[in-house]
Amino acid sequence: MGEIIPYNIIRILRLTVRTTILIVLLLTGGVGAATLIMEDNDSSDYNRAQEGVITGEVTTSNGTPVANAEIYVSGPSHGNTYTDENGNYRLGGLLAGSYILDVNPPYGSDLIRNSMAVSVDLEETVTIDIILQKGGVVTGEVTTSNGTPVANAEIYVSGPSHGNTYTDENGNYRLGGLLAGSYILDVNPPYGSDLIRNSMAVSVDLEETVTIDIILQKGGVVTGEVTTSNGTPVANAEIYVSGPSHGNTYTDENGNYRLKGLSAGNYTIYAYPPYGSDLAWNYTNVIVRSGETRIVDIILRISDTMPPVFPMCLYGNATINEEPAPDGTTILAKIDNEVRGSAIVKDGKYGEPAYNRLIVNGNEKDNGKIIQFYIKFILANETIQWHSGNVSRFDISFETISPIIDSINLNNTSPNALAKRSPGLVTAMDVPMLV
């Protein structure tokens, strides 16, 4: 027990930045004695001397200092800082290695970001001056077709750069800091507006300002009333519109609804009864034209008196005088001389691909009725019976004299000019479960 045991260093504690205390425990004969050895070495200054440092200045291409630019360094170490009012920056405490410096211009600037590679060793200070070029600018005014400025329209630019802004109270907008290249400007009207969106293509070079004024046309409006079969208004029914534009709304306490800002085209209006109602949903078709208001009233019936009915879906070859029908030819499907659906020919086929089937609408009274097919006033050789929910391949052929075909325009057929529309026409996009 009287033998002397060698010193053992148990722990090194750094109690202050400048002082290291070694606690040495001497154990003899079961009695412990602690001796503190004070060393005044400046380890903090020593570590700082080992750091790598990147410093420099950020300027524009004409030498103007850029204040408040963010400098971000990534590599063996990570960190960021901002340039001061003179455009200077300093990033210290870096381990040795290769780094990427990313420089982001201050928010709202027309400058574009820049990046540089740099290698740093311990105890080395590397100076990297960085130039931020001025990007392209797209500016202009958004107005209605009569020249009224459109405030709060969202302008979104997509291309080599991305960004968005809103028009001010005078309809003016400005998008800066764009890389050189081709862009698409998408302009969305303010929420709740009757206007429809517009898009334009634009090319921009660095340090170039391009002026693009954009006109938003007034869209179509569909309004009406939703009632039960005895004329009682249906409040809180959801109205959903599907077509070139999409949207929804709810009926008010009087059963009235209004859908606005619709692009021109064919639409299906769906009416869904309020939750918990015993009414069945219903739909109808309407043709919308820009700037026009169409009134479409919808009746919801008791569900057990209205069994589910689904459109019939058709597709196949379309020929004229045994030759493929020209691309763009419109084929109409009629029941009882009412247009119940249409399709456009492409590559001698109609109803292709699957999401673009010829949808022939009907109701429970139409089961077994004959569908006739027309190109303008030319009747197809074939007919088929309508059956709810049926999906069929059905080739259609037309026979006529070539000079007659040449004398009429088979494309851009106006179904509205040929026959009245059936209130219940839907599109293939609305019944994906059938195609």
The more confident residue out of 419 and 300 is 300
Q: What percent of the chain is predicted at pLDDT more than 90?
A: 57
Same fold, 51-132 and 136-216: yes
pLDDT tens track for 298-353: 999 876 655 567 889 999 999 999 999 999 899 999 999 999 999 999 999 998 87
Model pLDDT, residue 356: 80
Q: Given a cut of 50, is residue 423 above it in pLDDT?
A: no
Q: Given a cut of 90, is residue 139 above it in pLDDT?
A: yes
Model pLDDT, residue 332: 93
Closest CA to 209 of 286, 140, 116: 140
Hey, which CATH number is domain 136-216, 3.20.20.150, 2.60.40.1120, 3.30.470.20, 1.20.1340.10?
A: 2.60.40.1120
Q: How confident is the model at residue 401 (pLDDT cuts 50, 70, 90)?
A: low
Q: How confident is the model at residue 36 (pLDDT cuts 50, 70, 90)?
A: very low
- The superfamily (CATH) of domain 220-305 is Carboxypeptidase-like, regulatory domain (2.60.40.1120)
SS (H, E, C) the chain: CCCECCCEEEEEEECCCCCEEEEEEEEECCEEEEEEEEECCCHHHHHHHHCEEEEEEEEECCCCECCCCEEEEECCCEEEEECCCCCEEEEEEECCEEEEEEEECCCCCCECCEEEEEEECCCCEEECCEEECECEEEEEEEEECCCCECCCCEEEEECCCEEEEECCCCCEEEEEEECCEEEEEEEECCCCCCECCEEEEEEECCCCEEECCEEECECEEEEEEEEECCCCECCCCEEEEECCCEEEEECCCCCEEEEEEECCEEEEEEEECCCCCCECCEEEEEEECCCCEEECCEEECEHHHCCCCCCEEEEEEEEECCEECCCCEEEEEEECCEEEEEEECECCEECCCHHHCEEECCCHHHCCCEEEEEECCEECCCCEECCCCCEEECCEEECCCHHHHHHCCCECCCHHHHCCECCCCCCHHHCHHHC
Q: Which CATH class is domain 51-132?
A: mainly beta
Q: How confident is the model at residue 49 (pLDDT cuts 50, 70, 90)?
A: low
Q: Which CATH class is domain 312-424?
A: mainly beta
Average confidence score pLDDT of the chain: 81
Q: Residue 74: CA atoms inside 13 Å, Cβ hemisphere, count?
A: 6
Average pLDDT over residues 248-252: 93
Per domain, the residue ranges of the chain are: 8-46, 51-132, 136-216, 220-305, 312-424
Q: How confident is the model at residue 66 (pLDDT cuts 50, 70, 90)?
A: very high
